[in-house]
Structure 1
Amino acid sequence: MRRVRTDRRPVAFGAALLLGAHAALAQPAVVVSPTGAVRTVTEALRVAPAGARIVIRAGTYREPTLHVTRAVTIVGEGLPTLDGENAREIMVVTARDVTVRGVRFARVGTAFTEDRAALRVRDTGGCTIADNRFDDTFFGVYLANVAGCRIERNVLSARKTGESASGNGIHLWSARDVVIADNQIRGHRDGIYFEFVRASTVERNVSERNLRYGLHFMYSDSCRYLDNTFRANGSGVAVMYTKQVVMRGNRFEDNRGGAAYGLLLKEIGDPVLEGNTFARNTVGLMADGTTRLLASRNVFASNGWGVRLMSNVQDSRFDANDFSANTFDVATSGRDATAAFAGNWFDAYRGYDLDRDGRGDVPHRPVRLFSLLVARYEPSMVLLRSFFVDLLDVAERGIPSLTPDAVVDAHPAMRPVARRTTVSSLH
């Protein structure tokens, strides 16, 4: 009896899939050109099938809002401009696996009743937004209810003068598994904004001179922020109502003002700060309602306050950090904060190391008595360089009775210990 082969249909089906894939790759690009057969991006999106490549030649295109509803790759040649004419959103993507590369988005226009964006991606996933320019936009890139997208190597710049008339550079709401890498962002309300974001990575971006925050995120757990620079923003970086945050290798620089800081941690659980540099900020790190903070191998240099700990900070550790040239290395709002210090280097330490093991033999209390006075009565700062303050410091070292008992480094390092990869910029 002959045996009947039963695998013919699967083989034929697999071959059909391969043929379909090759056919998709063989599809000619839809070319948009001011003088070509297809002269508008709207027309290209209408005729292009799923999987097609749309090439936009150099020029300026003023069209109604573009709706991308099929999986296509949009590529600009010569940085073509999509002009919103200060009146509308420019592009809305609702299809999966869309790529937008090499395009300039310009002149979105301020809106007070909607979060108008140059490029909006919503209710989808797998998008790639790379190598684009966003000039004079309200919101630059806005992702809502998305997963698995990449935003990389874009330049976003705005020239707004007030927070109410400005949107965010890169804005994420309800997203997960997103990578934001190697972007340059300036002049927006917040450079990067996260809300209800999970398991995402922000790395190697430069966010500077934004009106409010270089980075601002809330309710966004299990995210990583690596090797970014946040410079000269209105208030610095704010991290709120979040848990399991890792911030490693970042630079928080030149964030100055009456309410400015390099980094604010507010109502945060289990954050990790490692290998960061806090330089020339009014406050380097401010922790408020923070639990189980682990800060190690960070540099706090040339800040007004290196670290400010509110009394509701609990079970936190500072290990092997460097404190130098700060007006106040560590300050607290009361005697109740529980933060352990171990093996940190302080340029203000006046102890000794008789056994030469690299650790001081005399404990160091980084909270100055004068900092407690300033916290309660700010005008007393005018006495900072006075002989009276010098007497306070000497008295506190001799009889350490007023500064917090819990904030003490029993064996501070005798030389800098943190990784100082970019400290040369401080000189």
Structure 2
Amino acid sequence: MRKFIFLTLIVLNLASNELQEAINNAKNGDTIELGSGVYKGNITINKPLTIDGINKTAIIVGDENGSVINITSPNVVIKNLTITNSGKIHADEDSAIKITNSNNVEILNNKIKDTLFGVTFLKSNNAKVIGNEISSYDSVTAFKGDALKFWYSHDNKIIDNNITNSRDAVFWYSSKNLIKNNHGKNCRYSLHFMYSSDNLIQNNTFDSNKVGIFFMFSKDTTLKDNLIKNSIGAYGVAIGMKDSSNLKIINNKIIYNARGFYLDQSPYQPNTINEFVGNLIAYNSVAVQFHALLEKSIFKDNTFKSNIEVALNDTPGVNMNKNEWSNNYFDDYDGFDLDKDGFGDTPYLSYSYADKLWQHRPSVRFFYGSNAISLLNFIAKLAPFSEPEFILKDERPRTKAKDEN
């Protein structure tokens, strides 16, 4: 039978060791319930136990040195707390909660604010991070820490969290994680994967971040049913990848971004494929941008609507025929469907004409969208003054978007 320890109302000048003493005196499996008040942080939990703020009015405050809560034991639960005032040393990963070599930790329904890093997992598996609100110190984005950091941490569930005004949620060498139903806004990268694989990213909403989701040197991951919008600015990307392979991008909504998809040498490994199926890609400056194409990607049953450019290749000389396009809807398709089967009678073709000047020469981008470039493109399509550059061919394009059927 679990023992319950109840700490009564605490004022700001709480003795520095009172909460730590309660932890030290607790037995394995105990629950420490905190009443309303402010509690001194910089605590260490080195045994299985639960700290519960009950009515969400207990605040644990650090002294702006190190992490507010350090966990070095498995089977710890932290819930219903407000946690604030970590240190500010990036090299030490000063966090609201830092978990080291500890499995089966649960971080539930907490509010984390004014900390450098939010929750950091170091070689810690089978955790649950559910229902938390996480934001960083108010500073320049580059100086903030990561809202969530997983390093060599696997089989974790990250669900229903609300992350704002932080740097990234980053996964280093971390696999088989479930990231579902989270919201991210006003961050740098909502999700950033490095050398990670076999993750599932589902039903998240990422709005007004510099980058929605980015993969580097990662593989074997599925993204489905996510909404990513308003990733704008000089390097705004909804979903990007570098040297990443065997990704499945399914039924996502990619709306109002500088670039919808950015593919840098992805797929990377020989004989691997990245698949883009059933996505809505709409109102982006560029729907799909290719850089240094190596292996083929498959684009099937996607809807391309009201993008300034459907696709571009910024690397001269690569073979764009490697990609496979089928059954996509393009709102600028100018063919017919005489047999009324829902598919065009002629292929959808995309070439780069005069606009390849701005694709390959950044200094010309200033004029992109101007009347001069538009006129050059129109004239080039009528009577090309240089060999147009092939971008894509869909043999059987849809004539109606799926939401119009």
- TM above 0.5, one fold? yes
Cα deviation digits, residues 116-159 of structure 1 (max 9, x gap): 11101111211111100001110010001011111010000124
**Selected match of 2:396 from 385, 408, 411:** 411
1:377 alignment partner, one of 361, 380, 385: 361
- Which residue identity lines up with residue 287 of structure 2 in the other structure? G
Q: 1:171 aligns with which of 140, 149, 155?
A: 149
Structure 1 counterpart of 2:211: 235
Instruction: For 2:200, give the aligned amino acid.
Output: R
Inter-partner Cα distance in structure 2 for 1:230 and 1:196: 23
Q: How does 1:133-152 map to 2 (within 5 A)?
A: 133-152=111-130
Which amino acid in the other structure matches residue 400 of structure 2? R
CA–CA separation in structure 2 for the residues paired with 1:216 and 1:205: 14
Percent identity reads 22
Q: Partners of 1:419 and 1:109 in 2: how far apart?
A: 53
Unaligned regions of 5+ residues in structure 2, if any? 268-272
Can you give the 5+ residue segments of structure 1 that lack an aligned partner in the other structure? 1-23, 421-427
Deviations 1:64-99 (A, max 9, x none): x21111111111023210001322311111111111
Pairwise CA distance, 1:394 = 6.4
Q: Is the 8 A contact 1:101 1:132 kept in 2?
A: yes
Change beyond 3 A, Cα 1:143–1:352: same
User: Aligned to 1:200, which of 174, 177, 195?
Assistant: 177
SS of 1:42's partner is helix
1:383 to partner: Cα distance: 5.1
Matched, 1:359 2:369: no
Instruction: Give the Cα separation in 2 of the matches to 1:73 and 1:348.
Output: 58
Q: How many Å separate the matches in 1 of 2:379 and 2:232?
A: 30
Deviation at 1:372, TM superposition (A): 2.1
**Secondary structure, counterpart of 2:358 in structure 1:** helix
Residue in 2 that maps onto 1:299? 280
- The alpha-carbon deviation at position 391 of structure 1 amounts to 5.4
CA deviation after TM superposition for structure 1 residue 380, in Å:
3.6
2 CA distance for matches of 1:366 and 1:215? 32
Partner of 2:53: 76
CA 90–159 in structure 1, closer or farther in 2 if over 3 Å, else same: closer
User: C-alpha displacement at 1:385, in angstroms?
Assistant: 4.4
Q: Does 1:42 align with 2:20?
A: yes
Cα distance change on mapping 1:370 and 1:225 into 2, 3 Å: farther
Cα 1:88–1:388 change in 2 (3 A) is closer
Structure with more strand by fraction: 2
**Cα distance change of structure 1 residues 77 and 195 upon mapping to structure 2, 3 Å threshold:** same
| Residue identity opposite 2:401 in structure 1 | P
The answer to whether 1:343 aligns with 2:327 is: yes
Match of 2:235 among 253, 259, 263: 259
Shift >3 Å, 4+ stretches = 378-381, 393-401
For 1:40-60, what per-residue CA distance to the aligned partner results, in whole angstroms no more than 9, with x for missing partners? 321211111011111011100
Match of 1:91? 69
C-alpha displacement of 1:387? 6.2
Task: Give the partner amino acid of 1:343.
Answer: N
Task: After TM superposition, give the deviation of residue 287 of structure 1 in Å.
Answer: 0.4
8 A contact 2:28–2:47 mirrored in 1: yes
Q: Which secondary structure does the structure 1 equivalent of 2:254 belong to?
A: strand
The reply on whether 1:100 has 2:100 as its aligned counterpart is no
Q: Distance in 2 between matches of 1:160 and 1:139?
A: 12
Once superposed, what is the RMSD of the aligned Cα atoms? Answer: 2.3
Q: Aligned residue for 1:188?
A: 166
Q: SS state of the match for residue 366, structure 1?
A: strand
Cα 1:62/1:378, change in 2 over 3 Å: same
- Answer whether contact 1:248 1:276 (CA < 8 A) is retained: yes
Alpha carbons of structure 1 residues 154 and 390: separation in structure 2 relative to 1, 3 Å: same
Q: Name the counterpart of 2:270.
A: none
DSSP 3-state at the match of 1:247? strand
Number of equivalent positions: 390
Q: Give the alignment's TM-score, normalised by structure 1.
A: 0.86
1:388 deviation in Å?
Answer: 5.4
Alignment counterpart, residue 258 of structure 2, candidates 282, 286, 293: 282
The secondary structure found in structure 1 opposite 2:243 is strand
The one-letter code matched in structure 2 to 1:359 is F
1:396 aligns with 2:381: yes
Residue identity in the other structure for 1:354: L
Identify the range of structure 1 (233-242 vs 99-108) with the bigger mean alpha-carbon deviation: 233-242
TM-aligned CA distance change 1:356 to 1:164, over 3 Å: closer
Contact 2:239 / 2:261 at 8 angstroms: preserved in 1?
yes
Structure 2 length as normaliser, TM-score? 0.90
For 1:160 and 1:419, locate their aligned partners in 2 and report how far apart those are by CA, in whole Å: 44
Asked whether the equivalents of residues 68 and 85 of structure 2 are also in contact (C-alpha less than 8 Å), the reply is no
